[in-house]
Amino acid sequence: MTSPTASPSPGSPGLDIPEVSVTPGGTATTSLTVRNDSDIVEAYSLEVVGECAAWATVEPERISLYPGTSETVTIRLGPPRSPEVRAGEKPLAVRVLPTEHPEAVRVPETTVRVEEFRQLRTEVTPHRRRGWLRGRYRLALRNEGNAPTQLGFTPRQPGEELGFAFKPTVQKLEPGESAEVGLRVRIGKPVWFGNPVVWPFTVEVAETGEDGERQEQTDPTDVRAPLDAEFVQIPIFPKWLLAVLAALLALLLAWFMLVRPAVRSTAKEAANQVVQPRPTPGESAGGQPGGGGASQKPDGGSDTQPGTGGGGSGSGGGSGSAGGQQSSATIDLQTSTGSDKTGTYTVPEGKVFGITDIVVANFQGDEGVLTINFGERKITTIALETFRNQDYHWVTPIRITENDTVTAQVTCAKPGTPATGRRAQECHEVLNVSGVLSSTR
Protein backbone atom coordinates (compact mmCIF):
# COMPACT_ATOMS: atom_id res chain seq x y z
CA MET A 1 0.00 0.00 0.00
CA THR A 2 1.26 3.48 -0.88
CA SER A 3 1.66 5.82 2.06
CA PRO A 4 2.94 9.33 1.28
CA THR A 5 4.68 11.10 4.12
CA ALA A 6 6.38 14.45 4.48
CA SER A 7 8.75 15.79 7.10
CA PRO A 8 11.97 17.73 7.51
CA SER A 9 13.85 14.42 7.58
CA PRO A 10 12.97 11.24 5.64
CA GLY A 11 11.10 8.57 7.53
CA SER A 12 9.34 10.75 10.11
CA PRO A 13 5.58 10.15 10.28
CA GLY A 14 2.89 12.52 8.93
CA LEU A 15 2.78 15.21 6.29
CA ASP A 16 3.93 18.44 7.92
CA ILE A 17 3.70 21.95 6.42
CA PRO A 18 5.52 24.75 8.29
CA GLU A 19 3.37 27.73 9.35
CA VAL A 20 3.82 30.92 7.33
CA SER A 21 2.84 34.63 7.40
CA VAL A 22 1.94 36.64 4.32
CA THR A 23 1.03 40.27 3.61
CA PRO A 24 -1.89 40.93 1.22
CA GLY A 25 -0.51 42.11 -2.10
CA GLY A 26 2.75 40.24 -1.48
CA THR A 27 3.87 36.60 -1.71
CA ALA A 28 5.17 34.00 0.68
CA THR A 29 6.15 30.33 0.34
CA THR A 30 6.22 27.22 2.44
CA SER A 31 7.05 23.61 1.56
CA LEU A 32 5.75 20.07 1.74
CA THR A 33 7.94 16.94 1.48
CA VAL A 34 6.28 13.86 0.01
CA ARG A 35 7.94 10.43 0.51
CA ASN A 36 7.02 7.15 -1.18
CA ASP A 37 7.22 4.41 1.45
CA SER A 38 5.58 1.79 -0.81
CA ASP A 39 7.30 -0.85 -2.97
CA ILE A 40 6.05 0.48 -6.33
CA VAL A 41 6.60 3.58 -8.39
CA GLU A 42 3.80 6.00 -7.44
CA ALA A 43 2.54 9.29 -8.91
CA TYR A 44 0.99 11.93 -6.67
CA SER A 45 -1.40 14.80 -7.50
CA LEU A 46 -1.21 17.79 -5.15
CA GLU A 47 -3.93 20.44 -4.78
CA VAL A 48 -4.55 23.26 -2.27
CA VAL A 49 -8.02 23.01 -0.73
CA GLY A 50 -9.96 25.17 1.72
CA GLU A 51 -10.13 28.90 2.32
CA CYS A 52 -6.68 29.64 0.87
CA ALA A 53 -7.25 27.75 -2.40
CA ALA A 54 -8.21 30.93 -4.33
CA TRP A 55 -4.77 32.48 -3.87
CA ALA A 56 -2.41 29.50 -3.23
CA THR A 57 -0.72 27.08 -5.66
CA VAL A 58 1.50 23.99 -5.45
CA GLU A 59 4.61 23.79 -7.64
CA PRO A 60 4.76 21.21 -9.16
CA GLU A 61 1.20 19.94 -9.02
CA ARG A 62 2.17 16.33 -9.90
CA ILE A 63 5.24 14.24 -8.97
CA SER A 64 6.39 10.60 -9.48
CA LEU A 65 8.51 8.82 -6.86
CA TYR A 66 10.42 5.55 -6.80
CA PRO A 67 10.05 3.40 -3.70
CA GLY A 68 11.89 4.88 -0.75
CA THR A 69 12.45 8.30 -2.36
CA SER A 70 10.98 11.73 -1.54
CA GLU A 71 10.54 15.15 -3.12
CA THR A 72 9.81 18.61 -1.68
CA VAL A 73 7.20 20.78 -3.38
CA THR A 74 6.67 24.52 -2.93
CA ILE A 75 3.40 26.05 -1.78
CA ARG A 76 3.18 29.64 -3.03
CA LEU A 77 0.79 32.10 -1.31
CA GLY A 78 -0.32 35.39 -2.92
CA PRO A 79 -3.43 36.88 -1.26
CA PRO A 80 -4.77 39.99 -3.04
CA ARG A 81 -4.80 43.39 -1.35
CA SER A 82 -8.54 43.33 -0.86
CA PRO A 83 -10.99 43.58 2.05
CA GLU A 84 -12.31 40.17 1.02
CA VAL A 85 -9.15 38.53 2.47
CA ARG A 86 -9.54 39.46 6.13
CA ALA A 87 -6.61 39.61 8.51
CA GLY A 88 -6.01 36.70 10.90
CA GLU A 89 -5.14 33.01 10.90
CA LYS A 90 -6.41 30.92 7.98
CA PRO A 91 -6.24 27.11 7.61
CA LEU A 92 -4.13 25.82 4.69
CA ALA A 93 -4.61 22.24 3.47
CA VAL A 94 -3.02 20.26 0.61
CA ARG A 95 -4.65 17.12 -0.75
CA VAL A 96 -2.05 14.45 -1.70
CA LEU A 97 -3.74 11.87 -3.96
CA PRO A 98 -1.79 8.70 -5.00
CA THR A 99 -2.66 7.58 -8.54
CA GLU A 100 -2.34 3.81 -7.96
CA HIS A 101 -3.89 3.76 -4.51
CA PRO A 102 -6.36 6.70 -4.29
CA GLU A 103 -7.80 5.27 -1.08
CA ALA A 104 -4.56 6.32 0.64
CA VAL A 105 -5.22 10.05 0.05
CA ARG A 106 -3.82 12.39 2.72
CA VAL A 107 -4.69 16.04 3.52
CA PRO A 108 -1.96 17.67 5.63
CA GLU A 109 -2.84 21.09 7.17
CA THR A 110 -1.09 24.13 8.56
CA THR A 111 -1.89 27.73 9.51
CA VAL A 112 -1.35 30.85 7.39
CA ARG A 113 -1.32 34.18 9.19
CA VAL A 114 -2.64 37.00 6.94
CA GLU A 115 -1.16 40.31 8.07
CA GLU A 116 -3.27 43.45 8.45
CA PHE A 117 -3.19 46.33 6.00
CA ARG A 118 -4.98 49.67 6.26
CA GLN A 119 -6.61 51.45 3.35
CA LEU A 120 -9.36 54.04 3.66
CA ARG A 121 -11.16 55.94 0.90
CA THR A 122 -12.62 59.31 1.95
CA GLU A 123 -14.42 62.13 0.18
CA VAL A 124 -16.27 65.29 1.23
CA THR A 125 -19.30 66.45 -0.81
CA PRO A 126 -20.05 69.04 -1.87
CA HIS A 127 -16.64 70.68 -2.03
CA ARG A 128 -18.21 74.15 -1.71
CA ARG A 129 -21.42 75.17 0.02
CA ARG A 130 -23.03 78.65 0.07
CA GLY A 131 -25.17 80.05 2.88
CA TRP A 132 -25.80 82.94 5.25
CA LEU A 133 -24.72 81.27 8.49
CA ARG A 134 -24.45 77.49 8.00
CA GLY A 135 -23.78 74.75 5.48
CA ARG A 136 -24.19 70.96 5.43
CA TYR A 137 -21.68 68.48 3.99
CA ARG A 138 -21.30 64.68 3.79
CA LEU A 139 -18.19 62.60 4.41
CA ALA A 140 -18.22 59.43 2.30
CA LEU A 141 -16.10 56.68 3.92
CA ARG A 142 -15.13 53.19 2.73
CA ASN A 143 -12.87 50.72 4.54
CA GLU A 144 -10.81 49.04 1.81
CA GLY A 145 -8.47 47.40 4.33
CA ASN A 146 -8.77 43.84 5.66
CA ALA A 147 -9.35 44.65 9.35
CA PRO A 148 -12.11 46.49 11.25
CA THR A 149 -11.44 50.14 12.00
CA GLN A 150 -12.91 52.94 14.11
CA LEU A 151 -12.60 56.46 12.73
CA GLY A 152 -12.65 59.90 14.32
CA PHE A 153 -12.75 63.34 12.67
CA THR A 154 -10.70 66.47 13.33
CA PRO A 155 -11.69 69.77 11.60
CA ARG A 156 -9.15 72.53 11.09
CA GLN A 157 -9.78 76.12 10.02
CA PRO A 158 -7.41 79.10 10.28
CA GLY A 159 -8.76 81.64 12.74
CA GLU A 160 -11.33 79.23 14.22
CA GLU A 161 -14.32 81.36 13.17
CA LEU A 162 -16.26 78.27 12.08
CA GLY A 163 -17.96 75.74 14.32
CA PHE A 164 -18.17 72.07 13.31
CA ALA A 165 -20.53 69.24 14.29
CA PHE A 166 -20.20 65.62 13.09
CA LYS A 167 -23.01 63.06 13.20
CA PRO A 168 -21.98 60.50 14.33
CA THR A 169 -18.78 61.66 15.99
CA VAL A 170 -17.18 58.20 15.67
CA GLN A 171 -17.76 55.71 12.84
CA LYS A 172 -16.94 51.98 12.91
CA LEU A 173 -16.37 50.13 9.62
CA GLU A 174 -15.89 46.46 8.85
CA PRO A 175 -13.66 45.47 5.89
CA GLY A 176 -15.39 46.50 2.65
CA GLU A 177 -18.08 48.51 4.47
CA SER A 178 -19.12 52.03 3.44
CA ALA A 179 -20.84 54.78 5.44
CA GLU A 180 -21.71 58.48 5.36
CA VAL A 181 -21.08 60.98 8.16
CA GLY A 182 -22.95 64.29 8.29
CA LEU A 183 -21.00 67.51 8.84
CA ARG A 184 -22.61 70.83 9.78
CA VAL A 185 -20.54 74.01 9.53
CA ARG A 186 -21.72 77.21 11.23
CA ILE A 187 -20.40 80.74 11.66
CA GLY A 188 -21.55 83.08 14.42
CA LYS A 189 -21.79 86.48 12.72
CA PRO A 190 -23.66 87.32 9.50
CA VAL A 191 -22.28 89.45 6.68
CA TRP A 192 -24.80 92.23 6.10
CA PHE A 193 -23.36 93.97 3.04
CA GLY A 194 -20.54 93.56 0.55
CA ASN A 195 -18.94 90.59 -1.15
CA PRO A 196 -19.23 86.89 -0.19
CA VAL A 197 -16.60 85.64 2.28
CA VAL A 198 -14.82 82.35 1.57
CA TRP A 199 -13.92 80.22 4.61
CA PRO A 200 -11.64 77.27 3.65
CA PHE A 201 -11.31 74.35 6.07
CA THR A 202 -9.99 70.78 6.20
CA VAL A 203 -11.13 67.56 7.86
CA GLU A 204 -8.65 64.90 8.98
CA VAL A 205 -9.92 61.32 9.23
CA ALA A 206 -7.90 59.11 11.59
CA GLU A 207 -8.23 55.81 13.44
CA THR A 208 -9.19 55.97 17.10
CA GLY A 209 -9.03 53.46 19.90
CA GLU A 210 -11.89 52.26 22.08
CA ASP A 211 -11.24 55.23 24.40
CA GLY A 212 -11.60 57.66 21.48
CA GLU A 213 -7.91 58.61 21.47
CA ARG A 214 -6.35 59.10 18.05
CA GLN A 215 -3.93 56.39 16.91
CA GLU A 216 -0.88 56.84 14.76
CA GLN A 217 -0.86 55.27 11.29
CA THR A 218 1.10 52.02 11.18
CA ASP A 219 0.68 51.17 7.50
CA PRO A 220 3.04 53.35 5.39
CA THR A 221 1.03 52.56 2.24
CA ASP A 222 -2.13 54.12 3.70
CA VAL A 223 -1.52 57.79 2.93
CA ARG A 224 -4.48 59.97 3.96
CA ALA A 225 -4.50 63.56 2.84
CA PRO A 226 -6.82 65.97 4.70
CA LEU A 227 -10.14 66.63 2.98
CA ASP A 228 -10.41 70.19 1.67
CA ALA A 229 -13.70 72.10 1.50
CA GLU A 230 -15.03 75.67 1.57
CA PHE A 231 -17.95 77.51 3.12
CA VAL A 232 -18.93 80.62 1.14
CA GLN A 233 -20.79 83.06 3.40
CA ILE A 234 -23.08 85.23 1.31
CA PRO A 235 -24.18 88.69 2.52
CA ILE A 236 -27.72 89.25 3.79
CA PHE A 237 -28.13 92.22 1.42
CA PRO A 238 -26.25 91.73 -1.87
CA LYS A 239 -24.77 94.54 -3.93
CA TRP A 240 -27.53 94.54 -6.54
CA LEU A 241 -30.16 95.01 -3.83
CA LEU A 242 -28.33 98.08 -2.52
CA ALA A 243 -28.27 99.50 -6.05
CA VAL A 244 -32.01 98.88 -6.44
CA LEU A 245 -32.76 100.51 -3.06
CA ALA A 246 -30.67 103.51 -3.98
CA ALA A 247 -32.53 103.89 -7.29
CA LEU A 248 -35.91 103.58 -5.55
CA LEU A 249 -34.88 106.18 -2.97
CA ALA A 250 -33.82 108.56 -5.72
CA LEU A 251 -37.15 108.10 -7.51
CA LEU A 252 -39.06 108.67 -4.27
CA LEU A 253 -37.17 111.90 -3.57
CA ALA A 254 -37.81 113.07 -7.14
CA TRP A 255 -41.51 112.37 -6.72
CA PHE A 256 -41.72 114.37 -3.51
CA MET A 257 -39.78 117.27 -5.00
CA LEU A 258 -41.41 117.48 -8.44
CA VAL A 259 -44.57 115.45 -8.94
CA ARG A 260 -46.31 115.78 -5.59
CA PRO A 261 -46.33 119.64 -5.44
CA ALA A 262 -47.86 119.78 -8.93
CA VAL A 263 -50.57 117.29 -7.97
CA ARG A 264 -51.41 119.17 -4.79
CA SER A 265 -51.64 122.48 -6.71
CA THR A 266 -53.97 121.02 -9.37
CA ALA A 267 -56.19 119.47 -6.72
CA LYS A 268 -56.40 122.74 -4.82
CA GLU A 269 -57.47 124.66 -7.91
CA ALA A 270 -60.16 122.10 -8.70
CA ALA A 271 -61.47 122.30 -5.14
CA ASN A 272 -61.65 126.10 -5.28
CA GLN A 273 -63.75 125.92 -8.45
CA VAL A 274 -66.23 123.39 -7.07
CA VAL A 275 -66.72 124.66 -3.55
CA GLN A 276 -68.97 127.78 -3.45
CA PRO A 277 -70.43 129.63 -0.42
CA ARG A 278 -73.74 128.19 0.81
CA PRO A 279 -76.78 130.55 0.27
CA THR A 280 -78.39 132.09 3.30
CA PRO A 281 -82.06 131.36 4.12
CA GLY A 282 -84.39 133.13 1.72
CA GLU A 283 -81.73 133.40 -1.01
CA SER A 284 -81.41 131.29 -4.08
CA ALA A 285 -78.26 129.42 -5.03
CA GLY A 286 -77.34 132.43 -7.14
CA GLY A 287 -77.63 134.81 -4.14
CA GLN A 288 -80.99 136.40 -5.09
CA PRO A 289 -84.08 136.02 -2.90
CA GLY A 290 -86.51 133.65 -4.47
CA GLY A 291 -84.07 133.07 -7.32
CA GLY A 292 -84.08 130.13 -9.66
CA GLY A 293 -82.98 127.62 -7.08
CA ALA A 294 -84.80 124.51 -5.98
CA SER A 295 -88.54 125.10 -5.55
CA GLN A 296 -89.93 124.95 -2.06
CA LYS A 297 -92.71 122.55 -1.27
CA PRO A 298 -95.57 123.62 0.91
CA ASP A 299 -94.28 121.54 3.76
CA GLY A 300 -90.90 123.24 3.59
CA GLY A 301 -89.04 120.36 1.91
CA SER A 302 -86.98 120.66 -1.27
CA ASP A 303 -87.92 119.09 -4.57
CA THR A 304 -84.77 117.16 -5.63
CA GLN A 305 -84.34 115.11 -8.77
CA PRO A 306 -84.23 111.31 -8.47
CA GLY A 307 -80.79 109.90 -8.17
CA THR A 308 -79.22 113.18 -7.05
CA GLY A 309 -80.20 113.12 -3.43
CA GLY A 310 -78.03 111.90 -0.54
CA GLY A 311 -78.55 108.18 -0.42
CA GLY A 312 -76.06 105.23 0.14
CA SER A 313 -74.15 103.64 -2.74
CA GLY A 314 -75.07 100.10 -4.01
CA SER A 315 -72.65 97.08 -4.08
CA GLY A 316 -72.39 93.64 -5.80
CA GLY A 317 -73.18 90.34 -4.15
CA GLY A 318 -70.50 88.67 -2.02
CA SER A 319 -67.26 87.59 -3.72
CA GLY A 320 -68.53 88.14 -7.24
CA SER A 321 -70.29 84.81 -7.87
CA ALA A 322 -73.95 84.27 -7.13
CA GLY A 323 -74.40 81.84 -4.23
CA GLY A 324 -70.76 80.65 -4.29
CA GLN A 325 -67.74 80.86 -2.03
CA GLN A 326 -64.01 80.68 -2.48
CA SER A 327 -62.65 77.17 -2.01
CA SER A 328 -59.47 75.18 -2.62
CA ALA A 329 -58.32 71.56 -2.60
CA THR A 330 -54.83 70.04 -2.24
CA ILE A 331 -53.52 66.74 -3.63
CA ASP A 332 -50.27 65.54 -1.99
CA LEU A 333 -48.45 62.68 -3.77
CA GLN A 334 -45.38 60.68 -2.67
CA THR A 335 -44.21 58.19 -5.30
CA SER A 336 -41.37 55.65 -5.23
CA THR A 337 -38.79 55.50 -8.03
CA GLY A 338 -40.08 53.93 -11.26
CA SER A 339 -43.71 53.96 -10.10
CA ASP A 340 -46.89 55.84 -11.04
CA LYS A 341 -49.32 57.27 -8.50
CA THR A 342 -52.58 59.19 -8.90
CA GLY A 343 -54.23 61.55 -6.42
CA THR A 344 -57.88 62.57 -6.75
CA TYR A 345 -60.22 65.31 -5.49
CA THR A 346 -63.97 64.76 -6.07
CA VAL A 347 -66.44 67.66 -6.31
CA PRO A 348 -69.15 67.22 -3.64
CA GLU A 349 -72.68 66.28 -4.66
CA GLY A 350 -74.87 69.24 -5.45
CA LYS A 351 -71.87 71.52 -6.11
CA VAL A 352 -70.05 73.00 -9.09
CA PHE A 353 -66.38 73.90 -8.77
CA GLY A 354 -65.28 76.81 -10.97
CA ILE A 355 -61.46 76.54 -10.98
CA THR A 356 -59.48 79.68 -11.74
CA ASP A 357 -56.04 78.91 -10.28
CA ILE A 358 -53.71 75.92 -9.86
CA VAL A 359 -50.30 75.78 -8.18
CA VAL A 360 -47.89 72.85 -8.59
CA ALA A 361 -44.96 72.36 -6.17
CA ASN A 362 -41.89 70.23 -6.97
CA PHE A 363 -39.79 71.45 -4.04
CA GLN A 364 -37.33 68.50 -4.11
CA GLY A 365 -36.41 68.95 -7.78
CA ASP A 366 -37.64 65.45 -8.71
CA GLU A 367 -37.41 64.06 -12.24
CA GLY A 368 -40.39 62.51 -14.02
CA VAL A 369 -43.78 63.51 -15.47
CA LEU A 370 -46.89 65.15 -13.92
CA THR A 371 -50.28 65.01 -15.69
CA ILE A 372 -53.29 67.09 -14.48
CA ASN A 373 -56.87 66.25 -15.54
CA PHE A 374 -60.16 68.03 -14.82
CA GLY A 375 -62.74 65.29 -15.33
CA GLU A 376 -62.14 63.84 -18.82
CA ARG A 377 -60.11 66.90 -19.91
CA LYS A 378 -56.33 66.79 -19.80
CA ILE A 379 -55.19 70.22 -18.64
CA THR A 380 -51.40 69.82 -18.91
CA THR A 381 -48.50 67.38 -18.81
CA ILE A 382 -45.27 68.74 -17.29
CA ALA A 383 -41.72 67.34 -17.01
CA LEU A 384 -40.85 67.62 -13.30
CA GLU A 385 -37.22 68.55 -13.92
CA THR A 386 -38.30 71.78 -15.69
CA PHE A 387 -39.70 73.52 -12.59
CA ARG A 388 -39.74 73.76 -8.80
CA ASN A 389 -42.97 75.77 -8.43
CA GLN A 390 -45.47 76.49 -11.24
CA ASP A 391 -48.82 78.30 -11.25
CA TYR A 392 -51.60 78.71 -13.83
CA HIS A 393 -54.54 81.18 -13.84
CA TRP A 394 -57.74 81.53 -15.91
CA VAL A 395 -60.01 84.56 -16.28
CA THR A 396 -62.93 82.31 -17.22
CA PRO A 397 -63.33 79.51 -14.62
CA ILE A 398 -63.12 75.89 -15.72
CA ARG A 399 -66.32 74.31 -14.37
CA ILE A 400 -66.28 70.83 -12.87
CA THR A 401 -69.67 69.37 -12.04
CA GLU A 402 -70.72 67.33 -9.03
CA ASN A 403 -69.06 63.92 -8.50
CA ASP A 404 -66.48 64.76 -11.17
CA THR A 405 -62.77 64.70 -10.27
CA VAL A 406 -59.52 66.62 -10.33
CA THR A 407 -56.63 64.14 -10.75
CA ALA A 408 -52.86 64.46 -10.57
CA GLN A 409 -50.78 61.54 -11.87
CA VAL A 410 -47.03 61.42 -11.13
CA THR A 411 -44.50 59.12 -12.83
CA CYS A 412 -41.36 59.20 -10.65
CA ALA A 413 -38.11 58.73 -12.62
CA LYS A 414 -35.65 59.99 -10.01
CA PRO A 415 -36.16 61.64 -6.61
CA GLY A 416 -34.44 64.98 -6.21
CA THR A 417 -32.45 66.65 -3.45
CA PRO A 418 -34.36 69.03 -1.10
CA ALA A 419 -32.86 71.89 0.88
CA THR A 420 -31.54 69.45 3.51
CA GLY A 421 -28.85 68.32 1.08
CA ARG A 422 -29.66 64.61 1.35
CA ARG A 423 -31.25 62.89 -1.67
CA ALA A 424 -34.91 61.98 -1.05
CA GLN A 425 -36.13 58.38 -1.12
CA GLU A 426 -39.37 59.19 -3.01
CA CYS A 427 -40.71 61.82 -5.38
CA HIS A 428 -42.99 64.33 -3.62
CA GLU A 429 -45.34 66.69 -5.51
CA VAL A 430 -48.23 68.88 -4.31
CA LEU A 431 -51.12 70.22 -6.45
CA ASN A 432 -53.47 72.95 -5.19
CA VAL A 433 -56.59 74.01 -7.12
CA SER A 434 -58.73 76.97 -6.08
CA GLY A 435 -61.77 78.82 -7.31
CA VAL A 436 -65.48 79.23 -6.48
CA LEU A 437 -67.54 76.32 -5.13
CA SER A 438 -71.22 77.02 -5.77
CA SER A 439 -74.45 75.11 -5.30
CA THR A 440 -76.45 73.71 -8.20
CA ARG A 441 -79.77 74.00 -6.30
Q: Is residue 310 one of the residues assigned to a domain?
A: no
Could you give the count of Cα atoms lying within 13 Å of 5 in the half-sphere of its Cβ? 15
Q: Is residue 317 one of the residues assigned to a domain?
A: no
231/160: higher pLDDT:
231
240/263: higher pLDDT:
240
**404: nearest Cα among 357, 369, 360, 440:** 440
pLDDT reading at 313 higher than 80? no
Clarify whether residues 94 and 131 are in a common domain: no
Comparing 196-200, 210-214, 348-352, 402-406, which segment has the lowest mean pLDDT?
210-214
Give the whole-number percent of the chain exceeding pLDDT 70.
79
Alpha-carbon distance values, 386 to 33, 177, 339, 370, 382 (Å) = 74, 37, 19, 11, 8
Domain boundary among 83, 114, 145: 114
Clarify whether residues 76 and 162 are in a common domain: no
pLDDT reading at 294 higher than 50? no
Clarify whether residues 17 and 74 are in a common domain: yes
User: In Å, how far from its chain's centre is CA 331?
Assistant: 24
Clarify whether residues 20 and 74 are in a common domain: yes
Clarify whether residues 8 and 85 are in a common domain: yes
- 93: CATH: 2.60.40.10
136/209: higher pLDDT:
136
Residue 273: per-residue pLDDT: 54
Rounded mean pLDDT of 233-253? Answer: 84
pLDDT reading at 167 higher than 70? yes
Q: What is the pLDDT of residues 71-95, one digit of tens each?
A: 999 999 999 999 999 999 999 999 9
Q: Is residue 15 one of the residues assigned to a domain?
A: yes
Comparing 51-60, 220-229, 245-254, 334-343, which segment has the lowest mean pLDDT?
220-229
Q: Based on the structure, what is the number of domains in the chain?
A: 3
362 with 383: CB under 8 angstroms?
no
* Highest mean predicted confidence (pLDDT) among 14-23, 59-68, 191-200: 59-68
Identify the domain containing residue 430 by its residue range: 324-417+425-439
Q: Considering the entire predicted model, what is its pTM?
A: 0.50
Q: Is residue 267 one of the residues assigned to a domain?
A: no
CA distance 61 to 54: 15
Clarify whether residues 201 and 183 are in a common domain: yes
Q: From the DSSP assignment, how many helices (H) and strands (E) are in the chain? A: 2, 26
Q: What is the pLDDT of residues 353-400, one digit of tens each?
A: 999 999 999 989 999 999 999 998 999 999 999 988 999 999 899 999
pLDDT reading at 9 higher than 50? no
Rounded mean pLDDT of 212-216? Answer: 69
Clarify whether residues 103 and 174 are in a common domain: no
Rounded mean pLDDT of 225-243? Answer: 87
Residue 14: per-residue pLDDT: 43
Rounded mean pLDDT of 323-332? Answer: 90
pLDDT reading at 281 higher than 50? no
3-state secondary structure (DSSP) of residue 33: strand
| Per-residue pLDDT band at 404 (split at 50, 70, 90) | very high
Domain boundary among 114, 131, 157: 114
Q: Tell me the DSSP string of 237-282.
A: S-HHHHHHHHHHHHHHHHIIIIIHHHHHHHHHHHHHHH--PPPPTT
Q: Is residue 187 one of the residues assigned to a domain?
A: yes
CA distance 188 to 141: 29
Residue 334: per-residue pLDDT: 95
Residue 225: per-residue pLDDT: 85
Domain boundary among 114, 132, 153: 114
Residue 232: per-residue pLDDT: 95
Q: Is residue 185 one of the residues assigned to a domain?
A: yes
